[in-house]
Structure 1
Amino acid sequence: MKNIEKELKEFYGDNLLGIDYPCKINDQYIFLRTFISKPDGTTIKVEILQNMKLIYDTDTINGIRLISTKDIAVFKLISASSRLAKKDIYDLNYITDNNNLIELFKDLATKQERYNSEEDKTIFDLDGKVNPIQNPHLLLDFDNPKQGKSSRPNHSNDLIETVPNSKTWITTGIEWRAKMRSLYRHLELDFPKPKGRSV
């Protein structure tokens, strides 16, 4: 991680707005957060995590290694289950328009079987197991967001700000629940009944 920090400082210089380690226990359990200022005034949040395992090969585009959409989706299944953020569900719904949710669920199960030793653990494992494989209901609880720990990656707010001609949050929620119904049928589980709201 020290090499990454050094490269960030050398490449971005004064445009790098500080470097923070919200979690720094050892080389395995470490998380770097920084902000990069662009010339147009835009600020980009960058979070770098250690020990994140992949199940698919990376793609290289213009000399930059990118993880696959399916690996991103598998990460999102875990994060959506732990921090219950609408932004994760919005991303998952977008990804599952072209990648079957049932197959991604199988990918997550494969990943957990393949990488289950102590040395495979990440900072997310420090909070105990939050597992959509054992509890898929977690992927439907996004209307009740949790306040994430400051030592873990989290969203500064849970507002969905869409660009023109993109899906609204209401449409996304409806589509996601429909995809989850298909997953529940595949898992032979009863889909949860809607919860009433007290007035």
Structure 2
Amino acid sequence: MGGAARFITFEGIDGSGKSTQARRLADDLRAQGREVVLTREPGGSPGAEDIRRLVLEGDPDRWSAETEILLFTAARRDHLEKTIQPALAAGKVVICDRYADSTRVYQGITRGDLRVVVDRLHALMIGREPDLTFVLDMDPGIGLARARGRNGTEERFEDFGEAMQVRMRAGFLDLAQEFATRCRVIDATREADAIAAEIAALTQAALA
């Protein structure tokens, strides 16, 4: 099937359903005959997955926000080189569960006034923005309860509590306004099928 390559990202607070909706969109596009790479951050390449374990597991105070920015940027650079750029060059659609907007919010806004640092590093080492970003929006208390209900080991950021989730939600909504040409805010409190249908329709319009 034709169509230019597109880089699509999913953002939002913990527990907002990003991974589920990213997977559903990938399945939908593959059913249409498109070649799709479904990936995630931090991670998405062997080196980046190693860094993922460093930043998502352990005590909440394990790393400072400054150290996290460096770790996430290192993981993103490896991901970009090994996974994202080759797939886009091959004409594939890349769907990523989190990307640079998460670093802008988590480390740049909610854990200190470090947005300038995040943006400088991004410009220097990454330099690639998504073509389309879905910001899944929901009540922070509901999202946090969902995230904690997964009972996984990667709960370092959930352990910062609901107050941080509230700041994160505000941060993502502010970013959606800042990058209005590529961001679409999605009401993630609805049934998964309704959310997926809206995302699929918006994606089709972007790929047309």
Q: Which category describes the TM-score, using the shorter chain as reference length?
A: 0.3 to 0.5
Of the two, which has the highest radius of gyration?
1
| TM superposition score normalised by structure 1 | 0.32
- The structure whose RCO (Cα within 8 Å, separation 6+) is larger is 2
| TM superposition score normalised by structure 2 | 0.31
More helix by share: 2
